[in-house]
Structure 1
Amino acid sequence: MSATLQRPAPSAVLTSTPIVAVLRAKHAKEYAPVIEALVKGGIRSIELTLSSAGVFDAMPDLLQAYGAEAELGIGTITTKAQARLALDSGAAFLVTPTTDPAIIITSTAANIPVYPGGLTPTELLTGWNAGATAVKIFPASVVGPGYIAQLRGPFPDLQIVPSGGVTLEDAPAWISAGALAVSMGGPLLQDAFLGGDPQQLTKRARDLTDTIRAATSARQPKGNEDRP
């Protein structure tokens, strides 16, 4: 990473509650009640994916309604142009499914946290060296939480967010392994966009928040892993 390049820090919102809820729907007009249910359950970092139609058009109203309670980021960004539109729309963070240094640099130049996706050590280190806030292991279900320890051998400073196949059951194990946060879509949302009960979504969010905070509290401080 260039000596003049700043690495945006993760938000206080994310470090306090290290969960990113990933929202995918046919259209962004479906997002509001789901965001409301998640916020009631304590999850306050929410990724709005560009695989849903109308995200940029919906952002002003969503920010007005929920911007004081949650940070709304934009994900599934695959081009520099999309990154610029996301920043202009007020996104609190950017997420990509692949490692594209141009997108990362666009976000870091605006001092906005960015989480680029990758799986191999080469991809993850490339994203980190470009200035990523943390690298997103994607799809995380392919490797499992033990992958973090393997990566930390050669790359001890690497900050990691697993995404893709992270379940309610194994999310705490990722935190215990040293993940900065966990990113979760379907296992958390389940039928939320299919007429599911918002109260059940709020309960899942609250239960997940409790287990993740417990895992975070139980985790040893970095550098103490080998101490008795």
Structure 2
Amino acid sequence: MNVVSMLEEEKVVAVLRRLPSDTFLDVVRALLDGGVRAIEVTMDAPDGAELIQRARAALGDRVLLGAGTVFTREQMRAAKEAGASFFVSPHLDVDLLAAAEAWGVPMVPGVLTPSEIAAALRHGAQAVKIFPGSLVGPSYLRDLRGPFKDLKAMVTGGVGEENARAFLDAGAVAVGVGSSLFPKSDIEARDFASIAKRAERLVRLVRG
């Protein structure tokens, strides 16, 4: 997978963190119905790899599945075997980047400072994740793209309908959006139609 092309085309990556197992696939299907195809399942829950496997088995290539919040090679190996086609981490770890490259799976490392960005690019990252986006805002990314004019960055952390377009206008290739797309209240009420409508609204906003 060319992760940069995927990010540029999709614009939105839904970050699914510790969702209830019994509604996980319903949420993913609702996101797909709303036009969000890129899904990042975080590995900070014991069933992360299992959820990736379930989504891959049920939905096949309809969904672009990645593993997020990866900290170890063991997590990456489990996610890859489960069907993940890209990795995302909240930090920069050059050993993990090397392992991902050896396995042929693109990885998007989390960065914040210019030094971290330079190190990530030097060690082969195709794209980086600016995290947390809520700490710095769109103007920070715009300033970064002065010296890093070809930077391919996804912004995650505090991104939602109210600021996603601003980050893209500042030069982000995509945004990572979490629970604002699928509030706990909707999941508990099993109101998957509302999740689909929210996803559709966000997709229309960022691709319009």
TM-score by length of 2: 0.92
Structure 2: distance between partners of 1:93 and 1:128: 17
- Aligned equivalent of 2:35, options 12, 34, 42: 42
Find runs of 4+ consecutive structure 1 residues off by over 6 angstroms: none
2:169 alignment counterpart: 176
Structure 1: distance between partners of 2:181 and 2:53: 25
User: What 5-or-longer segments of structure 2 have no aligned partner?
Assistant: none
If you compute each CA radius of gyration, which structure gives the higher value, 1 or 2?
A: 1
| One-letter amino acid matched to 1:154 | P
Structure 2: distance between partners of 1:11 and 1:168: 22
% identical aligned pairs: 38
TM-score by length of 1: 0.84
2:96 aligned counterpart, secondary structure: helix
- Aligned equivalent of 2:188, options 162, 176, 194: 194
**Per-residue displacement from partner, 1:156-206 (whole Å, max 9, x unpaired)?**
222111000012111011111111100010221222443351111000100
User: What 5-or-longer segments of structure 1 have no aligned partner?
Assistant: 1-7, 215-228
Aligned in 2, Cα 1:49/1:28: closer, same or farther, shift over 3 Å? farther
What is the RMSD of the two structures over their aligned residues, measured on CA atoms?
1.8
Deviates more, 1:198-207 or 1:60-69: 60-69
* 1:73 and 1:95 in contact (8 A); partners too: yes
- Aligned equivalent of 1:109, options 102, 107, 113: 102
Deviation at 1:68, TM superposition (A): 2.2
Aligned in 2, Cα 1:199/1:157: closer, same or farther, shift over 3 Å? same
- Aligned equivalent of 2:61, options 68, 74, 78: 68
* 2:92 and 2:111 in contact (8 A); partners too: yes
Instruction: Note if 1:15 corresponds to 2:8.
Output: yes
Q: How does 1:158-169 map to 2 (within 5 A)?
A: 158-169=151-162
